[in-house]
Structure 1
Amino acid sequence: MLSIVITIVGILTLGIFGLNYGVDFKAGSSVDITFKKDVSSQKAAFEQYLKDNDFGSPGMTFGAKRVTLRFDDVLSDTKEKALKAGIADKFDKDASMEVNTVDVEIAKELQGNAIKAVLIASIGIVIYVSIRFEWRFAVAAIVALLHDAFIVISLFSIFRLEVNLPFIVAVLTIIGYSINDTIVIFDRIRENLRFAKLKSVTDIAKIVNDSIWQTMSRSINTVMTVLFATICLLIFGSESIRLFSLAILFGLISGAYSSIFIASPLWLLLKSKQKPKANVKSSAAS
């Protein structure tokens, strides 16, 4: 039910507002400014300076000694020099500034490559799982993967968080983590099936349930270990990786429960539709 709610709200926000793309995926300039002193108390003054000097109201991430500005338009050389001179004059003469610019064509290429990366990874996983296990496992696994990726995308759309290249890296990392957790459960299901005497769908359901419980401690230990590391990155890490850490955090939680509550029950549903063999009778058939 939680997944359905997040998915529906995510579809609505994506349809109405879309994603909040960073400079990596749209034309514009990103300016990273590093100060030698603490300027956290000067945020209002900094915003006013930008408005007064015709820089508009760019997106801003304001830290103690680091400020990141995101302009929708590409800054000209004149604007860059004026911004650097103004910062040195008004805030910190020892501040350093780095400007990264993306034009329209590069932004479109990055978007296309990001989509291709996710699709290729998903197709590769389907092929591998189909060969290693069976097609029902592959379908269940890919549905769980798409669920995890879309939950993260939905949450970023709902909360209007910035989507940039580290976000794509986070999604691919989540896919790898989620499939690993899912495969562990699927492998235990397959092992238990080898020695089971199946007479009905209820027997298969019991095997799935037992397999989940047999791997539960491993799943909990794994997710908690990675979760602690991710929370530390989120709290103590720099501004540049904060959204990456947040995306990983969303994906970890989603991936942990999708392997148990989505992938495994979906495989059971597909398996229950299989035509009964001589030694396995579907409860529906009986």
Structure 2
Amino acid sequence: MAAGFAQWGNDLYTGRRSYDIVGRRRVWYLISAVLLVASAFLLVKPGLNPGIEFRGGTEFVIAGVEGERDQQKAIDTVQSVAPGESPEVTNLGDDSMRVQTAELTDEEGKEVADALEAAFPGSEVSRQFVGPTWGADVSRKAITGIGVFLVFVSLVMTLYFRNWRMAVAALVALAHDLVITVGVYAGIGWEVTPATVIGFLTILGYSIYDTVVVFDKVRENTADALDQTRFTYAEKANLAVNQTLVRSINTSVVALLPVGAILFVGAVVLGAGTLRDIALALFVGMLIGTFSSVFIATPIEVTLREREPKIKAHTQKVLAARAAGLVDAPDSEAIAAGSGVRPAGQLRPGSHQGQAAQPKRNKPR
């Protein structure tokens, strides 16, 4: 199986096998539009569920619970002291529970802590008040961080690629990844914690990294696009996407496996909120980031470049030559050869396959 996957990757790189990813960009745009609309709907209803760090409140941690951890028992205990409260209860580790309520007075907090200790004999209950000011400060800094990150990404990509269209395409892909990831998080209903915000910021770096690798290959393949009349700009860019496809898949699998393990352990085994919060954001973000770097970023860049007069005129010239029968429509292997990639088994000019090595002859003295 590994050999077959390696051969598939080699065929993609050499052009023996190719998928028309750029040519079918309307399909990918439609899929992304559906995902974005669904995510936007989830952000409105049910919407994000801010954690106690953002909304403020009182948190109780019941440590050393003996026997079964009955969450409903904890809820009933809190409501017996503070009627009208709707506490959120979460299991932590093997023998602990976390109870979060709205803001309580010191007296109410002490009464709830004493009631929880009585309801769970042998346990120790600690409590702390969390103000919403800290969460607001985190949100403000996160927004500032995203803004600074996007500005630097735009400047660096524009200077490196000498093409502002690649920077625009990368930013669109980043926004695409962030909106869908946040929408999925809202749909699942897990609390948004500082760890979740860290996860959202992390996926931006992962997404831009994968996109830059693809764009670097696009730049390499299209450097001489206007100096020939056999291939269009879109065809050469599509070859770049195919040549980096296996690398994108391998990178994503290697990254998703440990994140998936953390997500499973945090959500199912330990029930640890911090682990599962950041792991869910990373898992969804990396998955969507891989999709956008392959199916969104490069197609958008090609769409923008094809609006340039020189690229548009070149594309029309190539297509007209093919329609007139002056130039044959090239296959993917021919495009690869035109980009300086030799198909597997093809020798360099001047070499002779199967020719026996000639013995060296001594020069006459």
Secondary structure at the aligned position of 2:235 is classed as: helix
1:170 to 191, 199, 214: 199
Could you tell me how far 1:198 is from its partner in structure 2?
5.3
Amino acid in structure 1 at the alignment position of 2:98: T
- Asked if the contact 2:177–2:288 (Cα under 8 Å) also holds between the matched residues in 1, the reply is yes
2:52 is the alignment partner of 1:47: no
1:1-59 alpha-carbon deviations (Å, 9 max, x no partner): 4432232122233335432111222222333333254433x222222212222262212
2:275 is the alignment partner of 1:241: yes
Could you tell me how far 1:201 is from its partner in structure 2?
10
- Asked if the contact 2:66–2:122 (Cα under 8 Å) also holds between the matched residues in 1, the reply is no
CA distance in 2, matches of 1:162, 1:49: 23
- Aligned residue runs from structure 1 range 139-158, under 5 A: 139-158=168-187
Amino acid in structure 2 at the alignment position of 1:140: A
- Asked if the contact 1:87–1:93 (Cα under 8 Å) also holds between the matched residues in 2, the reply is no
Alpha-carbon spacing, 1:209–1:112, altered in 2? closer, same or farther (3 Å)? same
CA distance in 1, matches of 2:131, 2:32: 35
Secondary structure at the aligned position of 1:93 is classed as: coil
CA distance in 2, matches of 1:200, 1:17: 54
Alpha-carbon spacing, 1:125–1:98, altered in 2? closer, same or farther (3 Å)? farther
Q: Larger radius of gyration, structure 1 or 2?
A: 2
Partner of 1:212: 241
1:109 to 114, 137, 141: 137
Partner of 2:310: 276
CA distance in 2, matches of 1:149, 1:171: 7
Alpha-carbon spacing, 1:144–1:202, altered in 2? closer, same or farther (3 Å)? farther
1:124 to 131, 148, 152: 152
Q: Provide TM-score, normalisation by structure 2.
A: 0.70
Count of residue pairs the alignment pairs up: 282
Q: Show structure 1 runs of 4+ deviating over 4 A.
A: 195-202
- Asked if the contact 1:199–1:282 (Cα under 8 Å) also holds between the matched residues in 2, the reply is no
| Unaligned stretches of 5+ residues in structure 2 | 1-29, 267-271, 321-365
Secondary structure at the aligned position of 2:59 is classed as: strand
Could you tell me how far 1:171 is from its partner in structure 2?
0.8
Q: Provide TM-score, normalisation by structure 1.
A: 0.88
Q: Which moved more, 1:225-234 or 1:3-12?
A: 3-12
CA distance in 2, matches of 1:98, 1:148: 37
Secondary structure at the aligned position of 1:75 is classed as: coil
2:89 is the alignment partner of 1:67: no
Q: Which moved more, 1:107-116 or 1:182-191?
A: 107-116
Partner of 1:3: 32
1:243-281 alpha-carbon deviations (Å, 9 max, x no partner): 211111110110010001100100000111112179x61
Q: CA RMSD in A?
A: 2.5
- Asked if the contact 2:226–2:314 (Cα under 8 Å) also holds between the matched residues in 1, the reply is no
2:45 is the alignment partner of 1:12: no
1:185-217 alpha-carbon deviations (Å, 9 max, x no partner): 001111122354555796211222211121122
Secondary structure at the aligned position of 1:62 is classed as: strand
Secondary structure at the aligned position of 1:74 is classed as: coil
Alpha-carbon spacing, 1:274–1:52, altered in 2? closer, same or farther (3 Å)? same
Alpha-carbon spacing, 1:200–1:146, altered in 2? closer, same or farther (3 Å)? farther
1:62-99 alpha-carbon deviations (Å, 9 max, x no partner): 3442322222x323222332233222222143435252
